Amino acid sequence: MVKANLTVISNFIFLGFTHYPKVNVIIFVLCLLMYLITLLGNIILISITVLDSHLHKPMYFFLSNLSFLDIWYTSSALTPMLANFVSGKNTISFSGCAVQMYLSLAMGSTECVLLSMMAYDRYVAICNPLRYLIIMNKSVCVQIVAGSWVTGCLTALVETMSVLHQSLCGNSIINHFTCEILAVLKLVCVDTSRVQLIMLVISVLLLPMPMLHICISYAFILSNILRISSVGGQSKAFSTCAAHLTVVVLFYGTALSMYLKTSAIDSQEIDKFIALVYAGLTPMLNPIIYSLRNKDVKTAVKKLLIRNPLCAFLIPSSK
C-alpha cells in the first residue's frame, strides 16, 4: 500500500453526484436556488438591522450575525460545487480544499454555539422581560457573539489540522461534492483513532450539548406561554416556537446523524444529501423563520421600500 503525505497531493477530485446522472441538473438547479435565496434573505436582514435604529436590539444583533454566518457557510459549501458543475471540472487544489474544509467547519461550529445562545436570549426576553435589557446588555451580547466565533474557529482549526497532517494511500478522489472532513478522512490509510476521538469530543460539545440547552430554554419558554390568558397570543407564540424548533431540529438532527454515527455505518451517498440540508436548506430557512415573519422586520422592510423604491425590484413583498 503506497502512502503519500497529504501535502504532496496537489489536487483532489470530487465524485459529487455522478452516481445520479439523471438528477444531476435538478440537484444543480435546487442548489443554485437555495444559494440565491440564502444570499438575498440574509443580505436583506443584515441591511435592515444596520439601517433601521428600531432593530438595534440584542435579538437582531444575534440574527444579523447568524445571517453573516449563513452566507459564508453556504458559500463555502455550495459555491465550488456550482462552479465545478458549470465548468465541467470536479477538481480542487489542496490549499483550496483546506480553506473550504476550515470555513465550513468554522461557520457550522460557530452557528451551533450561536443558536444555543440565541435560545437563551429568547428565554430571558420572555421569562424575565423586566430585566431583559439589563441581563442582555451590549457588553454581554458582544461577549456571547465573540465567544461563539472564537469557539467555532478554534475547534475547526483543531479538526482541520488533525486531518491534514495524516497520510493518504495515493488516493485523491473525494466521494462528496465538497471537502467535507469525514469524506477526506476516508482517504487516510493510517490509524485514525486519535483523529476520530478528537472529532467525537468536539462533536459532543458542539451538537448534543447546545441542542439540549436549546430544548431546556424552549421548555421554560413554552411553560411561560401557557400562562398567557389570550388564546390568540398563545397560538401565535406556539407557532413561532414551533417554527424555531423545526429549523433547530433540522440543523442539529442532520449534523448529529453525520458526526455522531458509528464508524461501522458507511453511508457516504446519504451523507451528501444530508450535507445539502444543513449546508443549503437551513441557511435558506433561517432568515425566513427567524426574521422575515417578524412584525418589526416587515415594518423595517416597508420603510426601506418607501425610502428607496428601487429596492422593490430586489426585495420580495413582506405582505
pLDDT at 313 over 50: no
pLDDT at 314 over 80: no
Burial class (CB in 10 A: 0-12, 13-18, 19+), 305: middle
Give the three cell numbers for residue 283. 441557511
Q: Which residue has the higher pLDDT, 158 or 276?
A: 158
User: Taking residues 177-201, what's their average pLDDT?
Assistant: 88
**CA 221 – CA 238 distance, rounded (Å):** 10
In this prediction, residue 232 carries a pLDDT of: 66
In this prediction, residue 318 carries a pLDDT of: 43
Across 27-41, 229-243, 263-277, which has the greatest mean pLDDT?
27-41
Q: Measuring CA to CA, how many Å separate 247 from each of 11, 177, 224, 256?
A: 36, 23, 21, 14
- The CATH superfamily of 11-261+270-293 is Rhodopsin 7-helix transmembrane proteins (1.20.1070.10)
Cβ atoms 184, 174 nearer than 8 A? yes
Kindly report, residue by residue over 72-126, the tens digit of the pLDDT.
999 988 888 888 888 878 888 888 889 999 999 999 999 999 999 999 998 998 8
Give the three cell numbers for residue 86. 458549470
- Please tell me the pTM assigned to this model: 0.86
Confidence tier at 9 by pLDDT (50, 70, 90)? low
Cβ atoms 52, 301 nearer than 8 A? no
Q: Any idea which residue has 440574509 for its cell?
A: 42
Q: How many residues in the chain? A: 319
Give the domain ranges of the chain. 11-261+270-293
In this prediction, residue 319 carries a pLDDT of: 44
SS3 per-residue string spanning 241-306: HHHHHHHHHHHHHHHHHHHCCCCCCCCHHHHHHHHHHHHHHHHHHHHHHHHHCCHHHHHHHHHHHH
Q: How many CB atoms lie within 10 A of CB 118?
A: 24
DSSP codes joined into one string, the chain: ---EEGGG--EEEE-TTTT-GGGHHHHHHHHHHHHHHHHHHHHHHHHHHHH-GGG-SHHHHHHHHHHHHHHHHHHHHHHHHHHHHHHT--EEEHHHHHHHHHHHHHHHHHHHHHHHHHHHHHHHHHHSGGGHHHHT-HHHHHHHHHHHHHHHHHHHHHHHHHHHTSEESS--EESSSS--HHHHHTTB-S--HHHHHHHHHHHHHHTHHHHHHHHHHHHHHHHHHTT-S-HHHHHHHHHHHHHHHHHHHHHHHHHHHHHSS-TT---HHHHHHHHHIIIIIHHHHHHIIIIITSHHHHHHHHHHHHH-GGGGGTSPP--
Kindly report, residue by residue over 204-241, the tens digit of the pLDDT.
999 999 999 999 998 898 888 887 666 666 676 776 67
Angle at 216 between CA 210 and CA 219, to 5 degrees: 140
Kindly report, residue by residue over 121-152, the tens digit of the pLDDT.
989 988 888 899 899 999 999 999 999 999 99
pLDDT at 5 over 60: no
